[in-house]
Amino acid sequence: MQASPAITAQQVPIALGDRAYNILIGQALIGDAATWADLPVAHAALIVTNDTVAPLYAARLRTQLASRHAVVHQVTLPDGEEHKTWQTLNLIFDGLLSNGCDRKTVIYALGGGVVGDMAGFAAASYMRGVPFVQVPTTLLAQVDSSVGGKTAINHPLGKNMIGAFYQPQRVVCDLDTLTTLPARELSAGLAEVIKYGPIADMAFLDWIEANMAALLAREPAALAHAVRRSCEIKAWVVGQDEREAGLRAILNFGHTFGHAIESGLGYGEWLHGEAVGCGMVMATQLSLRLGLVDAAFADRLTALIGAAGLPLKGPRLGAARYMELMRVDKKAEAGEIRFVVIDGPGRAAMRAAPDALVAEVIDACCA
């Protein structure tokens, strides 16, 4: 079998004035010295990773950073959404303080969305802000959570409710890290890829439909295009609305229902992307009942989510429990739940909806 040709590294810029940076997308990036050029030089670096990713990629990253930093420290966190807590966050601060790290220390987040969110929050908080670099190793993190500067931890009463907006110096999407990703994690990442089509780019949705088999087979060219186009759309949105005052909220399509699933079941029971995939089904059904899309569109999007290997039915928490959890969502205002709905194919909007209608959707979409 002939090896696939190497994917030429590409850059997607995030235009945020003096906080602008590039997303690098390609193969073998972690081990390439050019990847790390022009980043802040400091005496010390701290790699934040987890116990799944560390044995795979930490040594490779340390080798490259040794030429840029006199000392390279490492904090290895337990893996999983259930560890996205104050207690785990403090392990990062313990590593920074016990090693005498100063305000020029560069933090490198090597892992999935949980690692990136916590390392970014630590970077935003330590000495009121130190530079950090995102090195996402999951598809979900490469196409969504590592880009745009959202950092956070969870609270028992709500997901990502404690955090900060804090932009990285660079995002390094090494596609080779996706070869070690479990199939379930790959499907979870595809939820965030699919999301970009109905909210912003129907041509991209067409492409995802045509290339789903290639994506599931991890064909490098397909993954490279999916990551690049997802990042381009997110960069376009974040460049206009960095702090989610308006437009950026569309990136949360499926997340209001999805976060309720994660919180209601207990963090880690479903992967974030699984909850978002199911949440998109529910949000699409709400859009349908509001008269914003037709049944053909709803059926098409639901079929694509299923083809990615994502759950189409939510857990039976009960409509009242879903509503209670969704009132804690960051998009709620004065207790009124606001949903990202599809306002016609390729467009999204924020809308409130009658509780009775939302409950109808929940009952229809839960197993």
Q: What is the 3-state secondary structure (H, E, C) of 13-68?
A: EECCHHHCEEEEEECCCCCCHHHHCCCCCCCEEEEEEECCCHHHHHHHHHHHHCCC
Catalytic residue among 159, 259, 289, 338: 259
Does 347 participate in catalysis according to the annotation? no
Secondary structure class of 357 (helix, strand, coil): helix
Does 192 participate in catalysis according to the annotation? yes
Does 255 participate in catalysis according to the annotation? yes
Does 22 participate in catalysis according to the annotation? no
Residue 21: CB atoms within 10 A of its CB come to 19
Does 336 participate in catalysis according to the annotation? no
Catalytic residue among 150, 170, 229, 338: 150
Quick one: 206 exposed, middle or buried, by C-beta within 10 A (0-12, 13-18, 19+)? exposed
Residue 1: per-residue pLDDT: 39
Residue 3: per-residue pLDDT: 54
Does 84 participate in catalysis according to the annotation? no
Residue 333: per-residue pLDDT: 75
Catalytic residue among 242, 244, 262, 274: 244
Catalytic residue among 81, 192, 242, 262: 192
Would you state the CATH architecture of domain 10-180? 3-Layer(aba) Sandwich (3.40)
Residue 9: per-residue pLDDT: 87
Catalytic residue among 84, 159, 229, 272: 272
- Rounded Cα–Cα distance for residues 361 and 341 (Å): 13
Residue 331: per-residue pLDDT: 74
Domain positions in the chain: 10-180, 183-365
The CATH code belonging to domain 183-365 is 1.20.1090.10
Give helix then strand counts, H and E, for the chain.
12, 11
Catalytic residue among 69, 255, 289, 330: 255
Residue 5: per-residue pLDDT: 65
- Rounded Cα–Cα distance for residues 274 and 309 (Å): 9
Q: Which amino acid is at 344?
A: G
Does 244 participate in catalysis according to the annotation? yes
Q: pLDDT digit of tens for each residue in the chain (367 aa)?
A: 345 567 788 999 999 999 999 999 999 999 999 999 999 999 999 999 999 999 999 999 999 999 999 999 999 999 999 999 999 999 999 999 999 999 999 999 999 999 999 999 999 999 999 999 999 999 999 999 999 999 999 998 888 999 999 999 999 999 999 999 999 999 999 999 999 999 999 999 999 999 999 999 999 999 999 999 999 999 999 999 898 888 999 999 999 999 999 999 999 999 999 999 999 999 999 999 999 999 999 999 999 999 999 999 999 999 999 999 999 877 777 778 999 999 999 999 999 999 999 999 999 999 7
Residue 157: per-residue pLDDT: 86
**For the chain, first and last CA: distance in Å?**
43
Quick one: 155 exposed, middle or buried, by C-beta within 10 A (0-12, 13-18, 19+)? middle
Residue 2: per-residue pLDDT: 46
Quick one: 258 exposed, middle or buried, by C-beta within 10 A (0-12, 13-18, 19+)? buried
Quick one: 6 exposed, middle or buried, by C-beta within 10 A (0-12, 13-18, 19+)? exposed
Catalytic residue among 170, 225, 228, 248: 248
In the chain, the largest separation of any two C-alpha atoms, in whole Å, equals 61
Q: Where are the beta strands (DSSP E) in the chain?
A: 10-14, 21-26, 44-50, 71-77, 106-111, 132-136, 150-155, 158-165, 170-174, 338-342, 348-352
Does 321 participate in catalysis according to the annotation? no
Does 252 participate in catalysis according to the annotation? yes
Does 259 participate in catalysis according to the annotation? yes
Catalytic residue among 252, 262, 330, 338: 252
